[in-house]
Amino acid sequence: MKTLKKLIFAMMAGSAIFTSCSKGAQPGTPVPTPGDGPQVQLTLGGDVSTRALALPAVEGEAWEKEIKTLAVYCYGTNGNLIAQRAFNAEELASLSTTFTMPASAVGTQCTFYAMANYSPGGTYTQTAAGLESSEAPSSALYNGDFSQVSTKCVRPEGFVMTGKATITLQSGTPNAVSITVQRTVAKFFVRAKLSPDFAQRFQGGTVVITSALVQRVPTASMLFYKDGNAPGNQAGAGTVNQTPFSDAGGYYLLFYCHEQGEVALNRRMTITLTGYFDRDGNLSTTFDRDPVQYLITVEGSGNCKIDRNRLYIIDVTIKGINGADAQSAVTEADWMPPFTQTGDI
């Protein structure tokens, strides 16, 4: 399948304006009138991927990049909402829009927050602090069977993406605002395969992996990444159960999780591969099967640090028939980029 081929190759290669309360608006203060102030030309800059690190880039799938809805909120220096805008169909197609701010916004340092495929609702959007304190939807909403996650976004609304940019609005010429959005989750792709000499070392025997369990999965993070604030270092509490996809190249898993800071070894995300060792390699007989299970500790970017909008490729080599006989290596990439981990078992 197309998705699998892309990931394996990567491993081998290494218009409506809604104006709200003005900045600092208090009860009895006139609300700015839209359409009489500075113009803003807003675009989503570049691909929906991170450009922060010089990492190898892996193109996201069409459903991982799709933007179905896009809303922008603008806040003044005191954090109060000045204006908001929902993109119409034409603006979504071009990922750009031009609109006019209230006249009172001239000379104000404004921060524009963009949210794709999500609306927090409630009163969270009334202040920048409220928006930044909002949690992103759980990563569990994106996970499912391999056949599902490798062909579509399981969350019907699409992947949540957020970004922000700050400028001081000037009168006269249009104010250009470019925002790069990032997905709020990371993507993990796992391939497990037998070492080249496995059959020779085990007299024609082979290992079949039948199920995988991912534990301590980070399932929560903030909606917007805060510069200078590392993700929390609490252990994740989520799980992902998946039946691996298999072909001649090995066994494959694909799942998503939220960002996470460095955590202690005994609190890191783990992947347990369960299956059986067939002593003669003849899978048509069952009397000569012995259960096997392999445990892989996920390293992420190091010490299980996981960054949003990254791709982590974990390449697992099974070298034996006990739980410690698996070695893994991780590759990190921009998603579009990658981080890869490898390991032997």
* 7 domain-assigned: no
- Asked if 177 and 234 sit in the same domain, the reply is no
- Asked if 167 and 210 sit in the same domain, the reply is no
**Segment 278-307, tens digit of pLDDT:** 999 999 999 999 999 999 998 877 777 888
Which CATH number covers residue 120? 2.60.40.2580
Q: Which helix H or strand E contains 208, and what residues bound it?
A: strand 206-217
Q: What is the pLDDT of residue 336?
A: 55
**Segment 322-338, tens digit of pLDDT:** 877 888 888 887 775 32
The pLDDT mean for the chain works out to 82
CA distance 73 to 152: 29
* 274 domain-assigned: yes
* 8 domain-assigned: no
Q: Which helix H or strand E contains 131, and what residues bound it?
A: helix 128-132
Range of the domain at 319: 185-344
Strand partners, 44: 179
Does residue 150 surpass a pLDDT of 50?
A: yes
Q: What is the pLDDT of residue 124?
A: 82
- Asked if 27 and 122 sit in the same domain, the reply is yes
Q: What is the pLDDT of residue 265?
A: 82
Instruction: Domain count for the chain, please give it.
Output: 2
Q: What is the pLDDT of residue 267?
A: 84
- Asked if 34 and 154 sit in the same domain, the reply is yes
Residue 87 pLDDT level (bands cut at 50, 70, 90): very high
Q: What is the pLDDT of residue 273?
A: 97
CA distance 83 to 314: 44
- Asked if 20 and 125 sit in the same domain, the reply is yes
**Segment 219-232, tens digit of pLDDT:** 888 999 875 445 55
Which CATH number covers residue 198? 2.60.40
- Asked if 79 and 176 sit in the same domain, the reply is yes
- Asked if 68 and 191 sit in the same domain, the reply is no
- Asked if 157 and 216 sit in the same domain, the reply is no
Strand partners, 127: 80
**Segment 231-288, tens digit of pLDDT:** 555 567 899 999 999 998 899 999 999 998 888 888 889 999 999 999 999 999 999 9
Residue 55 pLDDT level (bands cut at 50, 70, 90): very low
Q: What is the pLDDT of residue 3?
A: 53
CA distance 273 to 332: 22
- Asked if 106 and 168 sit in the same domain, the reply is yes
Which of 19-28, 312-321, 334-343 shows the lowest mean pLDDT across its residues?
19-28
Q: Work out the average pLDDT over 65-90.
A: 93
All residues at 6 or more sequence positions from 235 whose CB lies less than 8 Å from its CB, including other chains: 216, 263, 267, 268
